[in-house]
Amino acid sequence: MAIPNGGAALTAHVLEINAGGLTNDDFAEVTSYDSSSALPFHTIDAAVDGLVYGMIYKLRYRAENALGPGGYSDIVLVALTAVPSAPATPVREISGSTETSIAVSWESMQPDPALEGNSITGYRLYAAREKSNIYSLVFDGIGFPQIKRAVVSGLMPGDLYDFKVSASNFNGEGQ
């Protein structure tokens, strides 16, 4: 149920961030402004705000009007990191391969384990008939970062296939 605000205009805004980490619930103000502020925005920047590359942060926001401050927004999780680069080219394994299936494995990514936003959350394997350059997802291992091997079945005997693998982290899938 919405709390009536009497139609009062917003007079102040506050953006807060936690000190880093999924389990940390200590928030600190990043910025605030009121109706008299010249610039009603703030860009969060690692160099200015002391953020650590690779860490996951929580953000929350609230507004205020003549009746007082409102409740906090839902918490938004953000990681100060890029999506992972592509792992090395996957390789065919003889063991597990047949006339209509190919066993494929790839090297794991090794990001800095102290930076939780960089942690690999899983891999996806794509296959394309040779030279078609049209890749289809044949294995989705998101949520299972320890799996670095898949058997792709239902292939046509005599056809050649290309494979590529991508890694994912908190921010999503890399190339």
Report the distance separating Cα 11 and Cα 37, nearest Å. Answer: 10
112 Cβ contact partners less than 8 Å away, ≥ 6 residues apart: 54, 118
Please name each of the domains of the chain with its CATH number: 10-79 (2.60.40.10), 91-173 (2.60.40.10)
Between 148 and 2, residue with greater pLDDT: 148
Report the distance separating Cα 135 and Cα 137, nearest Å. Answer: 7
99 torsion bin: left (phi>0), alpha (psi -120 to 50), beta (else): alpha
pLDDT digits (tens, 9 = 90+) for 90-141: 999 999 999 999 999 999 887 766 677 788 999 999 999 988 989 999 999 9
pLDDT the model gives residue 81: 84
- Where is average pLDDT lowest: 24-38, 58-72, 105-119, 161-175? 24-38
The tokens for 174 are: 């890399």
pLDDT digits (tens, 9 = 90+) for 42-97: 566 555 567 788 888 888 888 888 888 888 999 988 888 888 888 999 999 999 99
Residue 143: which of 162, 125, 165, 169 has the closest Cα?
169
